[in-house]
């Protein structure tokens, strides 16, 4: 992988939310798609991959989504080269067979193993209620979102995750079906135009227990 920054400790431990970007820097859509593709190497529940991405990289699109965005998030939306909305797909199980059929066709698993996987996991999702599907999709998106944040740095950019939106309207504002998709987070990406705040973390001893 031809990363600009391939040092994991620098990518991870020197990451901080950047909310003001250099507006003269654009990111080619090809590179955005590469980053999304790389982010989707993330694990997901049963490999359902319940994520969907909406890229906002034009002034028109930014204006269009603003009505569902909290005002304090306007700076990163306005100045980012691209803001990628990661939304959960609660119907990902409808195409679940395809992903496993590919694995079978590539000869990586036997027909018996394929049947076992589909018979174990598909009924779980086919009979699940919306809150289960929403939670599952949200977790998948969160892991992909974290990957995207690190990948942005690996590609030489900075980023900010944000979820300060109107959860009731954002999905339809993005032109998606609110019965199917659920909001999770946006990731604004670009070249930094600020020195980010070095935030603190709680003491791990207070956070950790052993059972």
Residues lying near ligand FMN in the complex (CB under 6 A) are found at 16-17, 19, 73, 160-164, 185, 196, 199
Q: Which residues contact 137 (CB under 8 A, 6 or more apart)?
A: 50, 51, 88, 89, 90, 92, 182, 184
Q: Which residues contact 104 (CB under 8 A, 6 or more apart)?
A: 110, 111, 114
Please give the structure tokens belonging to residue 119.
């018979």
Least distance in Å: CB of 85 to ligand FMN? 12
Least distance in Å: CB of 205 to ligand FMN? 20
Task: Name the residue nearer to ligand FMN (CB basis): 50 or 160.
Answer: 160
Task: Name the residue nearer to ligand FMN (CB basis): 79 or 117.
Answer: 79
Least distance in Å: CB of 110 to ligand FMN? 40
Task: Name the residue nearer to ligand FMN (CB basis): 117 or 182.
Answer: 182
Task: Name the residue nearer to ligand FMN (CB basis): 76 or 90.
Answer: 76
Least distance in Å: CB of 16 to ligand FMN? 3
Q: Which residues contact 147 (CB under 8 A, 6 or more apart)?
A: 38, 39, 40, 41, 42
């Amino acid at each position: 992988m031809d990363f600009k920054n391939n040092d994991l400790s620098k990518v991870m431990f020197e990451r901080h939310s950047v909310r003001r970007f250099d507006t003269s820097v654009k990111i080619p859509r090809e590179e955005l798609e590469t980053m999304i593709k790389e982010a989707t190497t993330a694990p997901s529940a049963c490999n359902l991959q319940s994520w969907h991405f909406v890229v906002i990289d034009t002034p028109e699109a930014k204006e269009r989504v603003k009505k569902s965005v909290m005002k304090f998030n306007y700076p990163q939306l306005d100045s980012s080269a691209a803001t990628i909305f990661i939304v959960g797909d609660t119907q990902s199980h409808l195409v679940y067979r395809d992903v496993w059929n590919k694995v079978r066709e590539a000869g990586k698993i036997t027909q018996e193993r394929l049947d076992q996987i589909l018979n174990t996991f598909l009924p779980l999702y086919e009979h699940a209620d919306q809150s289960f599907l929403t939670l599952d999709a949200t977790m998948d998106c969160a892991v992909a979102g974290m990957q995207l944040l690190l990948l942005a740095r690996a590609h030489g950019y900075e980023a900010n995750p944000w979820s300060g939106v109107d959860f009731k309207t954002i999905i339809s504002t993005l032109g998606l079906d609110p019965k199917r998709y659920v909001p999770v987070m946006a990731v604004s990406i670009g070249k930094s135009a600020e020195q980010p705040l070095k935030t603190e973390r709680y003491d791990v001893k207070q956070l950790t227990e052993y059972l």
